[in-house]
Amino acid sequence: MTDKPATPRRRGAARTEELLQVTLDLAVEVGYAGLSIEAVARRAGVGKHTIYRRWSSMAELLLDALSRAWTSDLDYRDTGDVRADLREQFLRSAPALSSPPIGPVYRAVIAEAQSDAALRATLHERFLVTVEQRTLERITLAQSTGELVDGVDLEFAAEVLCGTLYYRALLTDRPIDEAAVDGLLEMFMAAYGAAG
């Protein structure tokens, strides 16, 4: 009994992982414009239905592949100093936006999303919400430990933190450097840091 095949469920999870990796590899090779469900299926040696059972569109599949690749960059530390932890994560994760494999593919998705409202919604739901959510969790923790004041809308603050950095990365030629991150955090802490 020890060498029985993996259960369908385990095979399913491994297959999902494999498809995400194939998608990212292919995206890096051929770019967003060259991607298709068919090309991913061919490369992975599966039928298209195997993919469509998991994702309803190429965009969803690619955004999940990007999320998976970027997951570790999005983790915040908890050292008890929210300003330092935000600073460390912003400076660590920002280069991914401009470096391979994620950077160029991600920019291509964002470009495509400008003329495709459905893709824009998917981009937000499958990827950016995760970015904002992890930030919100870290600052909510800081609120619970008294580093930030009570009774303020931290959900919007998380959007301001993420949104400002995205704006700089995508629409300007300014770097996300220490000065930028410190400027942003100075405003955030001035707004919501607990006095004293």
Please count the residues of this chain forming the interface with a copy of itself, following the rule CB under 8 A.
Answer: 41
For residues 24 and 62, give the distance between their C-alpha atoms in angstroms, rounded to a whole number: 7
Task: Identify which of residues 52 and 156 has a Cβ nearer to a copy of itself in the complex.
Answer: 156
35 near a copy of itself, rule: CB under 8 A? no
- 153, with CB counted inside 10 A (0-12, 13-18, 19+), is exposed
- Contact (Cβ atoms closer than 8 angstroms) between residue 17 and residue 65: no
For residues 178 and 181, give the distance between their C-alpha atoms in angstroms, rounded to a whole number: 5
Closest by CA to 165, choosing from 100, 77, 84, 90, is 90
- Contact (Cβ atoms closer than 8 angstroms) between residue 92 and residue 73: yes
- What x-and-dash track marks residues 176-195 binding a copy of itself by CB under 8 A? ----x--xx-xxx-xxx---
b/e string for 11-30 if b means 16 or more Cβ within 10 A?
Answer: eeeebbeebbebbbebbeee
Q: How far is the CB of 140 from a copy of itself (least distance, A)?
A: 15
Collapsed DSSP state (helix, strand, coil) of residue 151:
coil
Q: Which of 83, 88, 107, 130 binds a copy of itself (CB under 8 A)?
A: 107
Q: Give the angle subtended at the CA of 85 by the CAs of 79 and 89, to the nearest 5°.
A: 135
Task: Identify which of residues 44 and 166 has a Cβ nearer to a copy of itself in the complex.
Answer: 166
1 near a copy of itself, rule: CB under 8 A? no
Report which DSSP code applies to 143.
H
- What x-and-dash track marks residues 130-169 binding a copy of itself by CB under 8 A? ----------------------xx--xx-xx-xxx-xxx-
Q: Which of 172, 175, 177, 194 binds a copy of itself (CB under 8 A)?
A: 172
Q: How far is the CB of 36 from a copy of itself (least distance, A)?
A: 19
Q: How far is the CB of 108 from a copy of itself (least distance, A)?
A: 7
**Piece in contact with a copy of itself (CB under 8 A), picked from 44-52, 62-70, 74-82, 106-114:** 106-114
The residues of the shown chain that bind a copy of itself, judged by CB under 8 A, are 104, 107-108, 110-115, 117, 120-121, 123-124, 128, 152-153, 156-157, 159-160, 162-164, 166-168, 170-174, 180, 183-184, 186-188, 190-192
